Chains A and B, each alone.
Chain A
Amino acid sequence: MSETSVRRAGNRVFIAGVALLILWVLLPIWLLFVNALSAPAEVTGFPKRFIPSFDLASLSFFFGFSGVIDALWNSVKVAALTMILSIGVGAPAGYALSRFDFPGKETFRFLVVMTRAFPLPLLALPLAVMFIRTGLDDTILGLALVHTTLALPFAVLITFSLFSGIPLELEEAAWTLGCNRVQAFTKVILPLAAPGIAASAVFAFVISWNEVFAAAVLTVENRTLTAFLLQSLDVSPLPLKFAGGAALVLPALFFIFAVRKYLFAMWGIANR
């Protein structure tokens, strides 16, 4: 076999691999949207049409379903609160990590990531007991606190890499030009970091939005959309599931796409 034919074969394998990965990600999403936007009768049919029929019957049935709007609103409230809490706590931590040397800094960074090592099911029961004792059970705040612990490591890491990317000299220049520490931060660092902080906030929102386990365990009356769908999964018809799935996936997909540049930056991959 000549060298060119080997290279050509290698190319084919590469393209096939890429195609497979694309299918792996896009096929379920495509199925979800085709079914969500099809008439209920078409959902069980096969083969699927590539372009859905844009029959809104499934979606309107879904939104008309009792409890869906409340659950959706709960999801938004919990996610928004999670976003505020994780940025409020995470961004200062990220700033401290990028600007100061303190004893145990590396250990702290490690522990931040370690929080993700505890399986949520393990924590859920003691948390539920504790929440019932403190009256936090079945509240928006209680669930947002749990979601914040999930989102916080990412908020810290993203803002850490964000602040590290802003030269210290800019801050020092601001100090010599008459700023105190707070003014230098608000006048120079914040405007430069704002898009990244927004991205990190959106990511926290999505984590909360998609979270299902804690939501299912810790809420009874005030269910979020994920918990609501999980609860009614076995009793609801197929079109409702697809419509619910699409309603969950769409915002998450949209937000993550909008902030992808910063998520890559978190892992040190330049995306130019």
Chain B
Amino acid sequence: MAVIEIKQVAKSFGSFTALHSVDLTIADQEFMVLLGASGCGKTTLLRIIAGLETPTIGEVWIGGRRVDHLPPRERGIAMVFQNYAVFPHLTVFENIAFGLRMKKMDQAEVTRRVNRTAELMHIEQLLKRYSGELSGGQRQRVAVARALAMEPDVILMDEPLSNLDALLRLEMRAELKGVLAESNTTTIYVTHDQVEAMSLADRISVMNGGRIVQAANPVEVYRNPAARFVGSFIGNPPMNFLKAEPAGAGKWQVAGQVFDGPASAAAEFAIRPEDLHPAEAGLPAEVRVVEPLGPHTLVTASVAGQPFRAVLESNLLPAPGDVLHLAPVPDRIRWFDPATQSALR
């Protein structure tokens, strides 16, 4: 139970700036996901909160206490690492008990907590085993159990599912969400997987180039990207972007069609691939590739020479070379400033 405040935190490694003055407040018991491509600074930010990295400047507050000068053990955090970091020389029981023994907890309480968290993570039958005798998924469960047993204010997770195979990842994702919701801790979860981020998060912080581009709930991030980057990073396939020419006050011409838009000097038109439907009048799309995916058909096309994707109903099967007229859902159209890349409202 703790609020986390990150105030103007920056980090440089030599001449490379990993984080540019990040400000972020994470509410008590919130599940915050830091999402971004590799190298965007998300892991660096997490490690600064954990105390494994020191910020070049800025402050980190956890539960109303300034912690950026404290070692990890005095921050009230627990962390789950990407490679699990299960101690190979200890049994699963002793791994989970490790932090409790460091706190000098009495044996009865240690046993009680280990058994409870092991049960929670469904590893009670593995308690006598060593890490070398466990599968990747089981090791991950041990790592999460070890963090939960500490009953920390804050749990930090660094891509905990990225080393698991796809099916296991799906299973663990749902389980993690349930377990963490019950644990009443504040969670910060780093991932590059947007589906993981969308499914787990109360709020997503999308990071790019050492900055937080947008911090909002998953639907908001998806529907109203604060910047072009967010639209192009989130969504599979990502958002479509088309050039727009001014056509009078608040009117923009896009591939021969006129749309209502912002009253700015320049703008770029954006629409999600699933917010399109074939119509009499619409954006003329020359079909290049057609991929029937079952629930829907993915069409890769070109609109006025620019790449364009549409997710259409599966009974619609155009042939390459066909010209489709695709009408965007009016209230799903978004506009971006070509100069600043940020959203225009």
Listed in ascending order, the chain A residues whose CB lies under 8 Å from chain B are 167, 169-170, 172-180, 183, 187-188, 191-192
Contact = CB atoms under 8 A, between A and B. Distances in A.
A177 B52 contact: no
Given A167-B83, A169-B83, A183-B102, A176 B77 contact: yes
Interface string B53-83: 0000000000000000001110001110111
Given A173-B85, A173-B87, A176-B156, 5 more contacts: A172-B52, A173-B146, A175-B51, A176-B77, A188-B87
B88 A192 contact: yes
Given A173-B85, A192-B88, A180 B52 contact: no
B99 interface: yes
A192 B150 CA distance: 24
Contacts of A187: 98
A173 B73 contact: no
A176 B72 contact: yes
Given A169-B81, A172-B81, A179 B102 contact: yes
Contacts of B83: 167, 169
A192 B103 CA distance: 23
A180 B89 CA distance: 19
A211 to B, nearest CB: 35
Most B-side CB within 10 Å, residue of A174, A175, A178, A180: A178
Contacts of A169: 81-83, 85
Nearest to B73: A178
B185 to A, nearest CB: 14
B50 interface: yes
A173 B83 CA distance: 11
Contacts of B79: 172-173, 176
Nearest to B77: A176
B102 A177 contact: yes
A171 to B, nearest CB: 9
A189 to B, nearest CB: 10
A185 to B, nearest CB: 13
Nearest to B80: A173
Contacts of A177: 73, 78, 98-99, 102, 146, 150
A214 to B, nearest CB: 39
B88 A180 contact: no
Nearest to A177: B99
B72 A175 contact: yes
Interface string B135-165: 0000000000010001000001000000000
Contacts of B89: 188, 191-192
Contacts of A178: 73, 99, 102-103
Contacts of A174: 87, 98
Contact of A176 (B78, B82, B87, B103): B78
Interface size range on B against A: 20 to 34
Contact of A179 (B73, B82, B88): B73
A178 B73 CA distance: 4
Contacts of B88: 170, 192
Contacts of B99: 177-178
A167 to B, nearest CB: 7
B85 A170 contact: yes
B4 to A, nearest CB: 15
Contacts of A179: 73, 102
Contacts of B98: 174, 177, 187
A199 B157 CA distance: 37
Contacts of B82: 169
B67 to A, nearest CB: 13
A132 B77 CA distance: 59
A197 to B, nearest CB: 14
A183 B50 CA distance: 18
Contact of B52 (A170, A175, A183, A191): A175
Nearest to B52: A172
Contacts of B146: 173, 177
Interface string B115-150: 000000000000000000000000000000010001
Nearest to B75: A176
Nearest to A178: B102
Interface in B82-99: 82-83, 85, 87-89, 98-99
Nearest to B156: A176
Interface string B91-113: 00000001100110000000000
10 smallest CB-CB distances across A and B, nearest first, come from A178-B102, A177-B99, A173-B85, A169-B85, A176-B79, A175-B72, A191-B89, A176-B72, A178-B73, A169-B81
A173 B150 contact: no
A175 to B, nearest CB: 4
10 contacts: A169-B81, A169-B82, A173-B146, A175-B72, A176-B72, A177-B78, A177-B98, A178-B99, A179-B102, A188-B87
Contacts of B78: 176-177
Contacts of A183: 102
Contacts of A176: 50-52, 72-73, 77-79, 156
A166 to B, nearest CB: 9
A188 B85 CA distance: 11
Best-buried of B50, B82, B88, B103 by chain A (most CB within 10 Å): B88
